Amino acid sequence: MNIYLIRHGLTTPGEEGRYQGFLDESLSDKGRAQLAEAPQKPSHVYVSPAKRARETASILFPGAEQICVPGLWEMNFGVFEGRTWKEMENDARYREWVDGMCLGTCPGGESRVSFSARVCRAFLDVLEKEKAIKENAEAHDLSVPSAGEGRFEEDIFIVSHGGTQMAILEKWGRPARDYYSWQRPCGCGWKLSLKEPEKKPAGNDEQKAPEPDIKFSDDCKKSPDNCGKNTDDCGESTDNCEKKRNECGRNTYNSGCMELLVLEEVTLIR
């Protein structure tokens, strides 16, 4: 299975070097003009709900159904959004965040750890959705399922943000590299190959431990406002929610062993 992870096109705040995060800006005229329709013609594409991501997907993949995934939204930079580093160079809160290697929590926003956990959960959910579509098609011997059932395709297309790329690939990208080195320019991204761990052969006598009965609320993943924060429904931080979700088998992918092998860089701008 190949996965295309594409960053949205240019926006005016982006051209001006402003932190965007949860700001919902449209593409700039330059951003629209730069983008070129992709040669691939998927039936559907997964997108961040941000206007800049949805507009990019419409240009790159016209006619494709857009499936919005709230957890793929860019990091919430809180009070830093809409401002440039130059405008904040004497802001004590900004200096403290930068001096901490940009790992701490942005005032009114997220930390990088909570942001990455939120994005990686959303990415696993995308994989699970595609797996369910494939299994449904195979069960009914459908090469092209009828309307409403979804259509399985070997390639998955995701249009989101630079931060989304970095969070996913810092965790699973191979060869491994630093968080910031995974970011591609606007309108560009990565073609990746999903490598899953080998399954144990049938008939293995090893006894499987019973799965714990752990319930998880959709609040752990449903909206950008709730993503990356502690939730009463989980009773724990979202990092622990993610850990237990994987342990209890809600996501059948073994996220600790999964790898995304880089096949090539993708450029979809003129």
In a domain, 6, yes or no: yes
Compute CA distances 231 → 72, 218, 242, 265, whole Å: 18, 10, 12, 37
Joined tokens for residue 47: 């997108």
In a domain, 14, yes or no: yes
| Residue 63 exposed, middle or buried by CB count within 10 Å (0-12, 13-18, 19+) | exposed
pLDDT per residue over 157-209, tens digit each?
999 999 999 999 999 999 999 999 999 999 999 999 998 766 555 555 444 44
Answer yes or no: is pLDDT of 13 > 70.
yes
In a domain, 206, yes or no: no
Q: Are 79 and 93 in contact (CB under 8 A)?
A: yes
What average pLDDT does the structure give for the chain? 82
Compute CA distances 57 → 85, 131, 239, 240, whole Å: 29, 22, 30, 33
pTM, 2 dp: 0.78
Give the largest CA-CA distance in the chain.
65
Q: Is 74 helix (H, G, I), strand (E, B) or coil?
A: coil
pLDDT per residue over 95-114, tens digit each?
999 999 999 999 999 999 99
Q: Which domain holds residue 184?
A: 2-201+211-267
Residue 264, beta-bridge partner list = 191
| Residue 183 exposed, middle or buried by CB count within 10 Å (0-12, 13-18, 19+) | middle
- Helix 112-139, helix 162-172: angle, nearest 10: 80
Nearest alpha-carbon partner for 162 in 45, 41, 50, 37: 50
In a domain, 119, yes or no: yes
Nearest alpha-carbon partner for 158 in 257, 40, 69: 69
Answer yes or no: is pLDDT of 153 > 50.
yes
Residue 158: CB atoms within 10 A of its CB come to: 26
Nearest alpha-carbon partner for 6 in 209, 156, 110, 140: 156
Q: Considering its fold, how many domains does the chain have in total? A: 1
Residues 6+ apart with CB under 8 A from 93: 79, 107
Query: Between β-strands 2-7 and 188-195, what pairing exists: parallel, antiparallel or unpaired?
Result: antiparallel
Q: Please give the residue that has the higher pLDDT: either 175 or 252.
A: 175
CATH number of 162's domain = 3.40.50.1240
Q: For residue 173, give the DSSP letter.
A: E
Q: According to the per-residue pLDDT averaged within each range, which of 1-5, 130-134, 146-150, 210-214 is highest?
A: 1-5
Q: Tell me the C-alpha distance between 148 and 142, whole Å.
A: 13
Q: What is the DSSP annotation of 122-144? A: HHHHHHHHHHHHHHHHHHTT-SS
What DSSP element (H or E) covers 265?
strand 259-267
Answer yes or no: is pLDDT of 235 > 60.
no
Nearest alpha-carbon partner for 3 in 116, 142, 131: 131
